[in-house]
Amino acid sequence: MEHTVYNYSLCMALALMLFFAFDFLIGKAPAKTIYNNYLRSRRIMGVAILVLSLNYAVHLFIGIRFISHNAAILMNLSTYFCCYWLFSTSLTALLDRKYITRRQVITHLSLWLLFTTLAGCVLLFIPKGNTQNVGIVIMAVSLFVYGILLARKLLLTYHKAIRSSEDIYSDDIKIYVNWMSVITYWAVIYGISCGLLTFLPDDWVFGWILSSIPFYIYLYRSFYNYLMFYEQVERAIEIDEVQDNPEQTVQEQPNDKLPHYHESIAPKLTLWVEQEAFTQTGFTIQELAKTLQTNRTYLNEYIKNTYHVSFREWVTGLRLEFAKKLMKKHPEMPLQKVAEASGFLSLSYFIKIFSEKEGCTPAKWKKQ
């Protein structure tokens, strides 16, 4: 292999990864308590990238691949095992603050130590040749299975957060956290690729190194872009975790039946709709319940039983109807202004939702 190409590739990737790692570790964030979980997750991601950077440094300064090809492969697999865990933990913890526990940490650290020990045994105690190669392949398959399980957990947490927000947040938080889904699928593909590329002939291994650069650039940008929306998402997650106390509600009104509190909510909610308060962005069902002097459990149940949709779908429907009235009354108004006035987060999201509901874009609808 041409050492110059190999070393240049390592230098380029290592410099970027060290910058990303230390920026994640020591970079500033808003001085609010609500951002503590974000900082924790970002620092875990920083540690993951730093561990990978150390792996690259060993390749660059020691040249382990040229000393023992199989030793380099097993070192890579052990590094990926640790980083898979740190990577998935960082993203999962962004959506589930209770995910990181002492038991979880001990379990995954133990698995990594076991994997690393087995990798050492394969290298030191199994004779070189086909037998050792089979052992390395088994280790690689084990790593792949472990990565798939972690990715599955992350995606389940992601979809659970999306579903939970339907009954909590007026806006679609999928807009804010979609990058996690993208980065997870990319990570699975990249992780599989790394597992395969680490077996590449020496002449092509620089491709494995360079393939990491776009992935980490996207990850870095996504993490910092998410900072702009983190507070909104975290508020929705907090409300989902802090449930209303049903026993307390029953004690206060032991004889309440469903129609009774429906009757108390209905006129207040009608007035709130008439005031077009739904055009405000970023409010939660908890805030609306407080305005209506009820609790979110009753309000959520009322909306589902009356309109047969989730809280977010109900608010979105109100905003769409408001937007249509606005376009009829002011056909000259730019769509960007219509979207903003109706409470939509962006023009693209407004067009997407409008097209799904009406079967055509807002521009075509205005011409009908």
Q: Given this model, what pLDDT does residue 247 score?
A: 40
Distance between CA 163 and CA 175 in Å, rounded?
13
Strand partners, 169: 284
Distance between CA 279 and CA 350 in Å, rounded?
13
Q: Which residues of 181-217 are buried (b: 16+ CB within 10 A; e: fewer)?
A: bebbeebbebbeebbebbeeeeeebbebbeebeebbe
Q: Given this model, what pLDDT does residue 253 score?
A: 41
| Interval 81-95: pLDDT, tens | 999 999 999 999 988
| Interval 281-293: pLDDT, tens | 888 888 899 999 8
Take residue 281 and report the two structure tokens written for it. 């962005």
Q: What is the DSSP letter of 277?
A: G
Residue 298 backbone phi and psi in degrees, to 5: -65, -45
Q: What is the mean pLDDT of the chain?
A: 85
Q: What is the DSSP letter of 33?
A: G
| Interval 252-292: pLDDT, tens | 344 445 546 678 899 999 999 999 999 998 888 888 999 99
Question: Are 302 and 346 within 8 A, CB to CB?
Answer: no
Strand partners, 284: 169
Q: Given this model, what pLDDT does residue 258 score?
A: 52
Burial of 92 (0-12, 13-18, 19+ CB in 10 A): buried
Q: Please identify every stretch of the chain with a pLDDT value under 50, giving residue numbers as ranges.
A: 1, 244-256, 259
Helix (H, G, I), strand (E, B) or coil at 284: strand
Distance set, CA 276 to CA 288, 319, 332 (Å): 13, 9, 21
Q: Given this model, what pLDDT does residue 192 score?
A: 62
Domains in the chain: ranges and CATH? 3-240 (1.20.1070), 245-367 (1.10.10.60)
Question: Are 237 and 97 within 8 A, CB to CB?
Answer: yes
Counting residues of the chain whose pLDDT is more than 90, the rounded percentage is 47
| 311-329 and 296-307 helices, crossing angle to 10° | 60
